[in-house]
A and B are shown apart, each in its own frame.
Chain A
């Protein structure tokens, strides 16, 4: 069966530190996959492997049929992958939402060439889908965390990707904003027929959105079915951990 994303026995280590040690993740076209794990489990590294920005020391990585293990195709594949990073941009860069979303088209436009009318229309459609059209003229750093996350999502959509990768999309968001962004994501996933891979340390937002869930633990991945004791245990531990952090603060 043809998979959009195939990570087979992937091993990644930075220096002497093993981050991933035998990870297997398979995503079929139009599937919504979640990878959950505690902080420091290697979730972001897994996304970077799927995006071609980190090469594994061992294992096979195939995305949209391209073998990324040898790093020949990373540049071309990234144009087909919309990545929503975890953090909002930290510095106060003077860019409005419209320009930030249009940036998603830059890889497809090519070097030197300017964005055309078609690119601006696609960026506008992406802003509409993500629900940020009303902020199009505002500077990105003037928006709230949730709004900035939607802008990042719109930029990824403007690329017209086949695959959407999301790194902790609900981190730094309150419950209402988290629910809103997951609903938006779910709609977009179905409307555009995307393959979506989301990583999170907070599994409470996974059900009912995801088709498949992997648990990243001890540097390995474990496919779990919903509902399952593992996911529920992780939910329980996650809630207890959050409560403890609030008390400490």
Chain B
């Protein structure tokens, strides 16, 4: 059966639509993570999503809903709690990460959860998305895109320097908490699609590649989305062609894009400068 024939099946159509939306929108969150140094927070969210999934399996309900709930609550709480308790975000994230992992394994053990089900949360499967999963991905993607388009200048100021954003009179803290909350939503939405452990395929890796060759924030966002789309579609195709797990294939393509950008960064940086000068991007 050719790839073209596969496209007529709903599971494939769901996968392509998910890649289209997530590929464009989720890497924008990766730009937030890199600029605001939220990498430890991202780890904490991934493990909270895993814990939520474990709770779902233990209670024999859809793991996505508890995963979404745990990520949302923790993302709403982490920012304010770390600032009130004067704890670094990394310290608090490390604590949550370890605790949630331990609790998840306890639930797997006590619930007699089969290893295949547990791995399903860790690796995900973009080819098994239900309509509800797809609607969640689309909803979160539209939210991210809307936020970036409407609040571009505010996001730019916060990513540049939170102190400067506050000093020029922006509601920096509220916007920062909203960005962290949306990060939590995107991690939860990625869980079924790509797995709690491999969300970097869509969120972080395209942003890393974009940062290597961009000379403005607009370019970072555009290239992140482009690389997210490329790694998603090429990874999907290669997984079919070479019989590979889809999540892993997407990560391999995203990693190759990073390598390519690293090699050409000087040359492309010059071209990006020309694009910046001529098109105002």
Residues of A within 8 A of B (CB): 15, 51, 53, 75-76, 78-79, 81-83, 85, 89, 91, 93-96, 99-100, 103-109, 111-112, 114-115, 137, 139, 155-156, 159
Contacts and interface: CB of A to CB of B under 8 A. Distances in A.
23 contacts: A51-B167, A78-B166, A83-B164, A83-B167, A93-B159, A93-B160, A94-B211, A95-B216, A96-B215, A96-B216, A99-B156, A103-B153, A103-B168, A106-B157, A106-B169, A107-B168, A107-B170, A111-B151, A111-B171, A112-B151, A114-B153, A115-B153, A155-B168
- Interface majority SS (helix, strand, loop, mixed), chain B: helix
A85 B167 contact: yes
B157 A79 contact: no
A241 to B, nearest CB: 27
B160 A95 contact: yes
A-B interface, 7 closest residue pairs, ranked by CB to CB distance from nearest? A107-B169, A79-B169, A83-B167, A107-B168, A78-B169, A94-B214, A89-B161
Contacts of A89: 160-161, 164
- Chain B: number of interface residues, binned into ranges: 20 to 34
Interface of B: 35, 86, 150-151, 153-154, 156-157, 159-161, 163-171, 211, 214-217, 219-220, 276-277
Main secondary structure of the interface of A (DSSP, over half): mixed
A112 B148 CA distance: 10
Contacts of B154: 106, 111
Contact of A106 (B168, B211, B216): B168
A202 to B, nearest CB: 22
B216 A99 contact: yes
Given A95-B217, A96-B216, A137-B277, A103 B166 contact: no
A15 B274 CA distance: 52
A86 B216 CA distance: 24
Given A94-B219, A139-B215, A103 B157 contact: yes
A192 B210 CA distance: 41
